[in-house]
Amino acid sequence: KKLIETKWYEMNRQECTRAIARHEVREIEQRHTMDGSRDSSLDESDDVIIIYNRVPKTASTSFTNIAYDLCVKNRFHVLHINTTKNNPVMSLQDQVRFVKNVTSWREMKPGFYHGHVAFLDFTKFGVKRKPIYINVIRDPIERLVSYYYFLRFGDDYRPGLRRRKQGDKKTFDECMSTGGPDCAAEKLWLQIPFFCGHSSECWNVGSRWALDQAKYNLVNEYLLVGVTEELEDFIMMLEAALPRFFRGATELYRTGKKSHLRKTTEKKPPTKESITKLQQSEIWKMENEFYEFALEQFQFVRAHAVREKDGELYLLAQNFFYEKIYPKIN
């Protein structure tokens, strides 16, 4: 009976959340209609969509909080993509709906969409203008350890929320010694499929094709991919590249309290034995190869965007200009 009541409560809570969201959307659309903005053409700087298909436990909430803090001041919308049971793979019909929503929902432009969803190639759907993809990834073992403890103890962002594995006091090392499923090498396989996308092969654990596709997408489909370990530099470069959204983000990250709010509680670093055991798996080798590839690409982009002076990073000024312009204007 208690289980039925819990499920009933959860279903009603989700329905209430959806109803509130629908009401908020209608209010925004009505406000835009009254302002006459529905019939006016969007300014080019406003006709922009950013998608942050965030990987779990990579400081994604810390970064997303910055967008929420800046959205009023910088005049853009922030929308959370809430998928059922956090399933990162959308059905084909949901893919079509999502692409149509994102590209034609004028009232939500400029927009910053974030959620735990796999990369989606908008060109397959015949859209004229693709969104800008960004992301952050993390050392694969550190990400897995953080997620392991998060499922059991949560974090300081919502400390009262009951987690899926709450009550299980077993440490990560104890899980490794007993061969538990939550610390298995297969659980490392996440960042590659998130970047690979919605193809079935992306989710085949240990697929070399998925790794190659993830690398291709990172370089060709993402404006910038940062790493958790160097999050401030990632934010600084986004502010320089996309000031329409991120003006003031670096200072906010350095001084704001919200940005540093989310920390997994009760997390214990794994022993060298546990780390070595994971590093012997082919899955770790592939996920680590992808992480190292992303880190090298990020550091390459950063090296051409900033200079260091007295221990501080400074963005480079514009380093190109136009000349020999013909025909000459009389």
Catalytic residues: 114, 116
Rounded Cα gap, residues 85 and 305, in angstroms: 39
Burial level of 133, CB count in 10 A (0-12/13-18/19+)? Answer: buried
Contact criterion met (CB below 8 Å) for 74 and 244: yes
Cβ neighbours around 131 below 10 Å, total: 19
Contact criterion met (CB below 8 Å) for 316 and 305: yes
Count of alpha carbons within 13 Å of 312, Cβ hemisphere only? 6
DSSP code of 81? -
Q: What angle do CA 248, 291, 163 make, to 5 degrees?
A: 75
DSSP code of 194? H
Give whole-number Cα distances, 62 to 134, 240, 325, in Å. Answer: 15, 19, 46
Cβ neighbours around 112 below 10 Å, total: 26
Rounded Cα gap, residues 197 and 210, in angstroms: 9
Contact criterion met (CB below 8 Å) for 192 and 210: yes
Which residues lie closer than 8 Å to 143 by C-beta, 6 or more apart? 55, 56, 57, 58, 137, 190, 191, 228
Q: How many helices (H) and strands (E) does the chain have?
A: 12, 7
